[in-house]
Structure 1
């Protein structure tokens, strides 16, 4: 509790410092710190009316409103080891009516931990979660603390896409009998949509939407409702993929990277029946967080993808056909960008793990 008393004071002091400026292809932008003093922040959930939620990987969920910060009681118990912990936060589209949010986290399981999804209700004052229901967890779980993936996106039809990493078990990403290295699609109550691609395949998990992923830590919808993901490669081979039902994205059979030892991965960079990335990076940028921008405040960026870099400390803007990185938005505030989201007013919010802060980017007027 003492940490959060000190944290509130820190917020009030730094909030008066005003915005910094960064130069971009759309002109100067203002970057304002909206909360600081965070411990390994992972995701932002923007709420109607200006309040927001921030997850910290060690298991804390914070509610920020009117210049104060409160720790939210009732968050799920997490297995906070390695890359695991309390991870994504997504506010339901009907939050004003339902008060529901979706959380992903690493859940302790026999033999280790696995990515899980919970639906909870947030109290009116933002201080408590109630009616927590775990609607999905990977089967089987995995040992070690790597590659939980863990973004959750509400599709236009109300179903949920959840990204799941391979947990360091590379061959599992090609095995449809487990959830490792997949994107799954479930209904909001945890049931399985009848039109999932493998729902009638006895040799596959019916939740699976796509497979052959390594560690997808960024995900977002475009204006057509299509799902895009950014995922970590090994040494090189970070990818942006446009995800299709039933598609195989190749890991670890094909990749544009190499193992950390320098050894070749799999069979090369392509194979029939396996998808090519829309874009890949070599060297790796360690991508985390992905936003397809609406164009509301910056019309020239409409439809462009924004992806955070944990390794090189910038926000990548990707555009064009074929998709390519066309700009790097970079400053002290973009140190290890973990999450990036768009607010209702078109402003771009992002998490800097290195700064332990959430920032808001707006036109410099």
Structure 2
């Protein structure tokens, strides 16, 4: 176990990456050439489907055409994409709203797929208040019960996991959720909460990906980077602010995370691996102080791609559908400050940015519909939900 005292840094060092991202386009490190940057309306038919205040995540209810959207202030909204109809979902947990905190990710089990909105398990992440001026990410699960197809409620919701420890500040919760392909395990991205050094301290879960059983307990087979809870929850560490995770066609886990001033990363996630933050980064602190770049002999796992200037990713998925058949197996990342959809091609353990498609606003979340259409949420009050199909 690596044990270090938590270090606090000045706000100048800790500004959110999405606020400092630059709009010029360079792809650095292992991901080199760009095949093109183009306006989104040259590639997509773009339909606006409603507006939402500060949406954060979206997921289709398996077996249906219903998209469920979370908003940071704490709302859950159902949208029937076939009938073009919204409905309410009550029973969401109380959230600590502010800064980057609020209601976060949403996940359903594919094994519970049904063609109607029957009762099914729902998993949610959110920022939870602690004692004093502290807060941290939390994950809970309950049953989403829809009695009349016009409204739903979450029943028997209980918190199954909490980021340890709760700390001050309102940034870098990460709290993305992803089930293993066999649905035995739940992976949770746990951000560094802008505290930096704890990401190298495996006595806590800041700056980590944790691997849990579906009841929130530590999964058997974790690398046991420490002897006790929460160390036995950790799958990988040395992360900063993960905002997207997904499995590729080979069943390998990838994540994309915000770097500081430069150094956003796409990583192939390996059991027990240390990704270096904050000891190594291809970016620098916001006040200009340098951070030592990754090097071949530094002992840390290297990113498959790093970006300087940053892309400020909001989410990520690997495309699996038929509508954009040439993109099958590619990673798609909506960008915040870049206001673009970034497409990355994977080749073994290497990756490269293939193209980016520019929009008129910050992009927060992405979901793939049952027919292969892409659904993207902007990032603001009054944000549009956009359906993308090939032009």
Q: What is the TM-score with the length of structure 2 in the denominator? A: 0.82
* Range with bigger deviation, 133-142 or 353-362: 353-362
In structure 2, the CA distance between the partners of 1:249 and 1:21, relative to structure 1 (3 Å rule), is closer
8 Å CA contact 1:79–1:113 kept in 2: the answer is yes
Q: Indicate whether 1:30 and 2:45 are aligned.
A: yes
8 Å CA contact 1:198–1:204 kept in 2: the answer is no
In structure 2, the CA distance between the partners of 1:53 and 1:153, relative to structure 1 (3 Å rule), is same
1:16 counterpart residue number? none
1:153 counterpart residue number? 178
Q: Indicate whether 1:327 and 2:355 are aligned.
A: yes
In 1, Cα distance between equivalents of 2:231 and 2:239: 15
* Range with bigger deviation, 155-164 or 172-181: 155-164
8 Å CA contact 1:176–1:203 kept in 2: the answer is no
1:17 counterpart residue number? none
In structure 2, the CA distance between the partners of 1:295 and 1:180, relative to structure 1 (3 Å rule), is same
In structure 2, the CA distance between the partners of 1:207 and 1:21, relative to structure 1 (3 Å rule), is closer
1:15 counterpart residue number? none
One of 162, 165, 177 as aligned partner of 1:140: 165
Counterparts of residues 1-365 of structure 1 (less than 5 Å): 22-24=41-43, 29-36=44-51, 38-47=52-61, 48-65=63-80, 66-96=83-113, 99-111=120-132, 112-124=134-146, 125=149, 126-158=151-183, 159-198=185-224, 201-202=227-228, 205-265=231-291, 267-270=292-295, 271-321=297-347, 322-332=350-360, 335-354=361-380, 356-364=383-391
In 1, Cα distance between equivalents of 2:128 and 2:336: 24
In structure 2, the CA distance between the partners of 1:311 and 1:207, relative to structure 1 (3 Å rule), is same
8 Å CA contact 1:121–1:131 kept in 2: the answer is yes
In 2, Cα distance between equivalents of 1:34 and 1:49: 17
8 Å CA contact 1:114–1:137 kept in 2: the answer is yes
Q: CA deviation at 1:67?
A: 2.7
Give unmatched runs, 5+ long, in structure 2: 1-38
Q: Secondary structure in 2 aligned to 1:300? A: helix
Q: CA deviation at 1:226?
A: 1.5
Q: CA deviation at 1:359?
A: 1.4
In 2, Cα distance between equivalents of 1:105 and 1:128: 17
In 1, Cα distance between equivalents of 2:199 and 2:238: 5
In 2, Cα distance between equivalents of 1:77 and 1:108: 9
Q: CA deviation at 1:328?
A: 0.8
In 2, Cα distance between equivalents of 1:204 and 1:78: 23
CA RMSD of aligned residues (A): 1.9
Q: Secondary structure in 2 aligned to 1:245? A: coil
2:35 counterpart residue number? none
Q: Secondary structure in 2 aligned to 1:118? A: strand
Give unmatched runs, 5+ long, in structure 1: 1-19
In 2, Cα distance between equivalents of 1:150 and 1:86: 10
Q: Secondary structure in 1 aligned to 2:231? A: coil
Q: What is the TM-score with the length of structure 1 in the denominator? A: 0.88
Spell out, residue by residue over 1:311-359, the C-alpha distance to the aligned partner (whole angstroms, 9 max, x if none): 1100000115431111111233xx2111112122211111111460221
In 2, Cα distance between equivalents of 1:197 and 1:178: 15
8 Å CA contact 1:342–1:348 kept in 2: the answer is yes
2:6 counterpart residue number? none
In 2, Cα distance between equivalents of 1:206 and 1:320: 31
In 1, Cα distance between equivalents of 2:94 and 2:229: 32
4+ residue stretches of structure 1 with deviation over 6 A?
none
8 Å CA contact 1:288–1:308 kept in 2: the answer is yes
